[in-house]
Structure 1
Amino acid sequence: MSLAQGRPYLAIPGPSAMPDRVLAAMHRAAPNIYEGDIVDMTRAIVDDLRRVAMTRHHATIYIANGHATWEAAIANLFSRGDKALSLATGRFGINWAQHAGAMGVEVEMIDFGQRAPVDPARVEAALRADSDRRIKVVLLTHLDTATSVLNDVAAVRAAIDAAGHPALLAVDCIASLGCDEFRFDDWGVDVMVAASQKGLMVPPGLGFLWFSDKALEAGRASDLRTPYWDWTPRAFPEQYYQHFAGTAPTHHLFGLAESLKMILDEEGLPHVWARHETLARTVWAAFDAWGQGGDITLNIADPAHRGHSVTAARIGGGGAARLRRWCETEAGVTLGIGLGMAEPGTPEAADFLRVAHMGHVNAHMTLGVLAVMEAGLTALDIPHGKSALEAAARVCAGA
Structure 2
Amino acid sequence: MSLAQGRSYLAIPGPSVVPDAVLRAMHRASPNIYEGELVEMTAGIIPDLRAVARTQHHVAIYMGNGHAAWEAALSNVISAGDHVLVPSTGRFCVGWGEMATGLGAEVELMEFGTKTPMDADAIETRLRADKEHRIKAVLAVHVDTSTSIKNNIAEVRAALDGAGHPALLMVDCIASLGCDRFEMDAWGVDIMVTASQKGLMVTPGLGFVFFNDRADAVRAKMTRVSRYWNWTPRANPEKLFEYFGGTAPTHMLYGLRAALDMIHAEGLEAVWARHETLARAYWAACEAWGQGGPLTLNVADRAHRSHAVTALRLGAPHGTGLRRWTEHQAGMTLGIGLGMSEEGDPNGDGFFRIGHMGHVNAHMVLGTIATMQAGFDALGLPYGAGALDAATKVISGKA
Structure 1 and Structure 2 fold alike (TM over 0.5): yes
- Which residues of 2 match residues 120-199 of structure 1 at below 5 A? 120-199=120-199
- Which residues of 2 match residues 1-399 of structure 1 at below 5 A? 1-223=1-223, 225-264=225-264, 266-342=265-341, 346=345, 349-399=348-398
Q: Tell me by how many angstroms 1:222 deviates.
A: 2.6
Helix, strand or coil for the counterpart of 2:143?
A: coil
Helix, strand or coil for the counterpart of 2:348?
A: helix
Q: Tell me by how many angstroms 1:313 deviates.
A: 0.2
Q: In structure 1, what residue type is equivalent to 2:194?
A: A
What TM-score results when the alignment is normalised by the length of structure 2?
A: 0.98
Q: Tell me by how many angstroms 1:187 deviates.
A: 0.3
> 2 CA distance for matches of 1:325 and 1:64?
30
Helix, strand or coil for the counterpart of 2:307?
A: coil
> 2 CA distance for matches of 1:64 and 1:223?
25
Which shows bigger deviation, 310-319 or 270-279? 310-319
Helix, strand or coil for the counterpart of 2:291?
A: helix
> 2 CA distance for matches of 1:312 and 1:130?
35
Provide, for residues 10-69 of structure 1, a one-character-per-residue CA deviation record: whole Å limited to 9, x for no partner: 000111011100000000001110011111100110111100000000011100000010
CA contact (8 A) 2:316 2:351 kept: no
Which shows bigger deviation, 222-231 or 207-216? 222-231
Helix, strand or coil for the counterpart of 1:334?
A: strand
CA contact (8 A) 1:78 1:224 kept: no
CA RMSD of aligned residues (A): 1.2
Q: Tell me by how many angstroms 1:268 deviates.
A: 0.3
> 1 CA distance for matches of 2:197 and 2:141?
17
> 2 CA distance for matches of 1:104 and 1:170?
17
Q: Tell me by how many angstroms 1:345 deviates.
A: 9.6
Helix, strand or coil for the counterpart of 2:71?
A: helix
Q: Tell me by how many angstroms 1:317 deviates.
A: 3.6
Q: In structure 1, what residue type is equivalent to 2:286?
A: F
Q: Tell me by how many angstroms 1:289 deviates.
A: 0.6
Q: In structure 2, what residue type is equivalent to 1:107?
A: V
Q: 1:84 to 1:7 in 2, by over 3 A?
A: same
Helix, strand or coil for the counterpart of 1:293?
A: coil
Which shows bigger deviation, 19-28 or 334-343? 334-343
Q: Tell me by how many angstroms 1:395 deviates.
A: 0.6
Provide, for residues 252-274 of structure 1, a one-character-per-residue CA deviation record: whole Å limited to 9, x for no partner: 0000000001001x100000000
Provide, for residues 94-126 of structure 1, a one-character-per-residue CA deviation record: whole Å limited to 9, x for no partner: 000011011101111101110010100001001
What TM-score results when the alignment is normalised by the length of structure 1?
A: 0.98
> 1 CA distance for matches of 2:365 and 2:24?
24
Identity %: 60
Q: Tell me by how many angstroms 1:224 deviates.
A: 5.5
CA contact (8 A) 2:319 2:350 kept: yes
